[in-house]
Structure 1
Amino acid sequence: MIKINKKEVSEEYLVQKASTLTGLQQELKVAVDYLSVINYLAVNKDSFATSYFIENGSLNNLIDSLENLDKALEQLSCDLCPDM
């Protein structure tokens, strides 16, 4: 039996946390895709597309997404290993 903070952890709890991790992984993949696009635009010196990407808020959305991922991963870590 697995315990967290001396409390038994159910299989359902672990499945829920695994599901959370899967969702966060998908969000991270989207962020990596955004960064790949930015890199491609920079390498190809596409100033129009780069400016559009920044001006339409996509860069801010990426930053917000990464900040949310950071918070969610920290919370998940605390849920699974509260002493760390």
Structure 2
Amino acid sequence: MPCYFYILFSDSKGKFYIGHTCDNLSERLRKHNSQHKGFTGGVGDWTIVYSEEYREKTRAYQREREVKAWKGRKRIERLIGSASSRHPG
């Protein structure tokens, strides 16, 4: 089963959320958009703006930790933008 490193964005919060999962990515997004307590709860407008697929959970988690350590929105935006330019449309 594939695992994913992903970045979500909420227009209403104007913030990114960085995570990883070995669940179905669409189902994970549905959970983030549900009414729950926590950083992503209660907003309902999270969208997946970037993802990478991995064979092992440890690699997806390592990538999450790596990107979270950047501590810079600009670097995250560059990562998302580079993926968009490689995959137009």
User: Could you state the TM-score of these two structures normalised by the residue count of structure 1?
Assistant: 0.25
Greater Cα radius of gyration, structure 1 or 2: 1
Bigger share in strand: 2
User: Could you state the TM-score of these two structures normalised by the residue count of structure 2?
Assistant: 0.24
